[in-house]
A = this chain, B = another copy of it.
C-alpha cells in the first residue's frame, strides 16, 4: 500500500485520477491540493459526487507541507506550474508523475517556442521518462519522474508506431486528423467553451498549430530515426470525453491489409490496453471510461493509402488512466491494477 498525493485535484484530470485511485487496491490517497482555491475544504464539497466516498480535505497548494504526505505525487497542473513543484519533490526522494507538458519535450527550445514561456527547470528534463508504457516500459520501471504523454500524442503515437517502424510508411506525408471531446480543454471559464457555443457544432481549431504537434513529432522522429514532421488538425466535438484520430499514412510500396494487421497485432500482442480491432465502425463509445486504445486499419491498395483509426478516452488512456498504468509499472503492481 503506497500513499499518493494529487496536486491539481479539482480539474477534470485530477478528478478522474481520484475516481480511478479510489478503486485501486494497492493505493491510499493521502493528500489532495489545488491551486486557485481560497481555503481548505473537504473534497466532497468541491466535488460533490465524492461526498461519502473520500473523506479528505483539499489543501491550498503549499509544496513544503505536501512533501511528507505521500510517496508518489501526481501533478495535474496547468503548464509551467510543475517547475516550482517537481525539483523539491525529487530532492526529497519522492516519485512524480507529471501530467502537464512541462517535461515531455526533450528540447527546451521547442517547448519554449510552442508554449510561449520560459522552461524553468531544464536540469530535470533529462531525468524525465516519457510515460508511454507501450514504448518505454523498461525505462518507466526505473523512473522517478514521469512525463505523462498528452492525449492527442497518445492516440497518434500508438496508431502510427507499428507501421512506422516497419519501414513501410512515407514519413513525409503523415496526416493526423483528430477529434476530441471537450474535457480536453480543462475546467476553465471561457466563452468559447460554454455549452451554448460548443453544443450542436463541430469546430476545427489550431489547425497545424496545436502545442501537441511537436510532442508527436518528437516521438515519431525517434522511432523513424530521422526528423519527421506531420500535418496535425484537431477538432472539437460536442461530447465530454473521447478522442478519435483518423491517421493517413502513405505507403512507400504496396502491402496487404492482412500483412499490416499482423504487424499491428504482433506489436501489441502482450499489451493489456491496446486492442487491434476489425469492426466496421470505430467509435469512442467503445473506449470511454476505460484505459483502452482501440486501433483499426483500412487500406486502399490502389492509392497505397493506409488509414489508421485510433481511439481513446482522453481523460484515461490520454491522461489519468495512463498515469496510473505508469504508477503500476513503477511500483511493480499488476499493470492493470485499478484499471480494468
Complex: A277 Cα to B52 Cα, angstroms = 11
Whole-angstrom distance between the Cβ of A53 and the nearest chain B Cβ: 6
- Asked if A190 is at the interface (CB within 8 A of a chain B CB), the reply is yes
- Asked if A200 is at the interface (CB within 8 A of a chain B CB), the reply is yes
Known: A237-B202, A275-B52, A284-B201. A196 touches B187 (CB 8 A): yes
Among the interface residues A277, A292, A305, which one has the most CB atoms of the partner chain B within 10 A?
A305
Known: A53-B340, A179-B179. A288 touches B201 (CB 8 A): yes
Residues of B within 8 A of A283 (CB): 201-204
User: Which of A113-121, A296-304, A316-324 interfaces with chain B?
Assistant: A296-304
Contact of A207 among B12, B237, B298, B302 (CB under 8 A): B298
- Asked if A91 is at the interface (CB within 8 A of a chain B CB), the reply is no
Contact string against B for A residues 175-199, beta-carbon threshold 8 Å, 1 for contact and 0 otherwise: 1010101110101111111111111
Known: A49-B286, A191-B188, A275-B51. A231 touches B248 (CB 8 A): yes
Contact A244 B202 (CB under 8 A): yes
- Asked if A290 is at the interface (CB within 8 A of a chain B CB), the reply is yes
Contact A231 B191 (CB under 8 A): no
Contact A173 B244 (CB under 8 A): no
Known: A195-B198, A201-B285. A231 touches B275 (CB 8 A): no
